[in-house]
Structure 1
């Protein structure tokens, strides 16, 4: 297996991981995790009282975030098995910038 094939397979794996994470955020993640109120120094009841619409709005936020993550993973995997594997000169730079500006900024 040559270096480009290893890099392409690694990008496909990373894309599949992002797709899985996106599906989790879009369909399975609860609005608030148990540690969220603890981190904010409050209780779920206080959050519901102070911001009554928050718990109804958060699922929409996580569906959008999950869709973004899934799509980023799908495009990463697609580029890895097509353009990147074919040796297009700009493919590595595009993948690097896309990773930094999508997942990189989100994780910061």
Structure 2
């Protein structure tokens, strides 16, 4: 477990391991699943960016907003709650996601042929 996890729970790694000896193995499985989820979300986001955004599909903004909100947005909120050491890194990633949505929104509202296309 990360130091902020132990701080949030008000315990030490030694006391957790003594109470739950299989915790390390379980956490390994949890993080394997989480890693797969992250890679899968990244693949879907890349597909969305290369396909739906480039093709200006009407559902692209909604999918990107929901996908980002449930992944990086939710992760950032939870990491703020537990006072994670990585909260600012996650907030930076979330800021990039929000900036991308804002840029997409501005471009979608601009009439075609106007600007620096």
- The TM-score, its normalising length taken from structure 1, stands at 0.61
Aligned residue in 2 for 1:16: none
> What do you get for the CA RMSD once the two structures are aligned?
1.7
Q: State the 1:35 CA deviation.
A: 4.4
Structure 1 residues 72 and 42, CA gap change in structure 2 (3 angstroms): same
- Which structure is richer in relative contact order (CA contacts within 8 A, separation 6 or more)? 1
Query: Rg larger in 1 or in 2?
Result: 2
Aligned residue in 2 for 1:61: 30
Task: Supply the distance in 2 between the matched residues of 1:87 and 1:38 (Cα, whole angstroms).
Answer: 45
Aligned residue in 1 for 2:108: none
- The TM-score, its normalising length taken from structure 2, stands at 0.57
Unaligned 5+ residue runs, structure 2?
78-117
Say how many residue pairs are matched.
77
Unaligned 5+ residue runs, structure 1?
1-31
